[in-house]
Amino acid sequence: MGDPMSDDPTSLGNYSGRARLFPLPNLVLFPSVVQPLHVFEPRYRQLMEDALKDDRLIAMALLQPGWDDDYHKNPPICPVVCLGRVHKEERLPDGRWNLLLHGLARARVESELTTDRPYRVARVRLMQEEEVGSPQKAKDLRGQLGRRVSRWFAAHEDALVQLEQLLQGDLTLGALCDVFGFALPIGIEVKQQLLEDADVEQRARRLIAHLEENAPPEPAKPPSRPFPPDFSAN
């Protein structure tokens, strides 16, 4: 698999395509952000130990509806996952883990593999982003996105200042969509759709349309996550 000792924590240059799956019913991880996690189930404690001995990679997957009846087996997952690398970890005395998982890349599950591990493992294919066709179109979409997102923070001056800093910064349009998709209190199914959109223009238009159609009433409620979330500059 990838080189766990690489100087670049975002590098996937030697990635083999095997992924340890961590399916959850209520979380979608995106590239460029950092998600705190608490691991307590025995199978996922083993997953953590294996990841730390190897490439530190974990693929966060969203369980499909109806997972409740089959959670401790292998309920269906959505086909696109986010591959992340353990950024920091703390092993508790009883074997549980606290960790920060840094989202790196979208990946599509091609098949699940039979292994001797207690957790699920899959063969995945990394997805390449399709950038917006012209710089002017990307600029226009960035402006539309900024105006829509600002409506969700109208009553929070500090967040608006941070929002403006993000919009004026070096993040690409695709990364901005990922940061906002992760941080905003929007439906989990919409978040999964945004993750599945490797086409940046489609991702931006989907998020813009959702924010336009579902903007909360004034005054806007604070986001469910701290804003802005931790994210990488790449």
- Characterize 40-65 residue by residue with b for buried, 16 or more Cβ atoms within 10 angstroms of its Cβ, and e for exposed: eeeebbbbbebbeeebbbbbbbbbee
Instruction: Give Cβ neighbours of residue 144 (< 8 Å, ≥ 6 apart).
Output: 204, 208
> Which tens digit of pLDDT belongs to each residue from 35-46?
999 999 999 999
Average pLDDT, the chain: 87
Q: What is the pLDDT of residues 58-112, one digit of tens each?
A: 999 999 987 566 666 689 999 999 999 999 999 999 999 999 999 999 999 999 9
d(CA 126, CA 82): 9
pLDDT digits (tens, 9 = 90+) for 56-73: 999 999 999 875 666 666
Q: Look up residue 48 and give its two tokens.
A: 């953590």
Specify whether the CB–CB gap between 1 and 14 falls below 8 A: yes
Q: Please state, in angstroms and rounded to a whole number, the distance separating the CA atoms of residues 63 and 78.
A: 6
Confidence of residue 227 (pLDDT cuts 50, 70, 90): low
Per-residue model confidence as pLDDT tens digits over 163-178: 888 888 899 999 999 9
pTM here is 0.86
**Using CA atoms, how far apart are residues 133 and 138, in angstroms rounded to an integer?**
8
